[in-house]
Amino acid sequence: MLKTLQIKLEEIYVPAARNKEFDQKKSDVIIEEMMECEEEQRPIQVRQGDGRFVLVKGIHRLVAARELGETTIKAYLVHAKQHG
């Protein structure tokens, strides 16, 4: 089972490929869910990069957390191939 970490948002790098997947409407829905619901969101997925974490999956949850003023987010540390 993957271990959940609490990571500072400022320590997460978002590759251009993940930014291209971003849809503000999806993020807005997640923001509403986060504000209305006590249920925790599924953790995002990150991999270890050069001195930082790199987003693998969860761009909408990450942006929603930033827009809500959160400073940290739960994440799974995964071993993913670098896209290049």
Q: Is residue 29 part of a domain?
A: yes
Cα dist. 19→14, 37, 47 in Å? 7, 26, 16
Q: Is residue 38 part of a domain?
A: yes
- DSSP reduced 3-state for 70: coil
Which pLDDT score is estimated for 1?
Answer: 66
Q: Write out the chain's pLDDT in tens, 84 residues.
A: 678 899 999 999 999 888 788 888 888 888 888 888 766 678 999 999 888 999 999 999 999 999 999 999 999 999 866 554
Q: What is the mean pLDDT of the chain?
A: 86
Number of domains in the chain: 1
Give the list of residues 6+ apart from residue 50 with CB closer than 8 angstroms, or none: none
Residue 61 domain boundaries: 4-77
Q: Is residue 54 part of a domain?
A: yes
CATH number of the domain where residue 60 is located? 3.90.1530.10
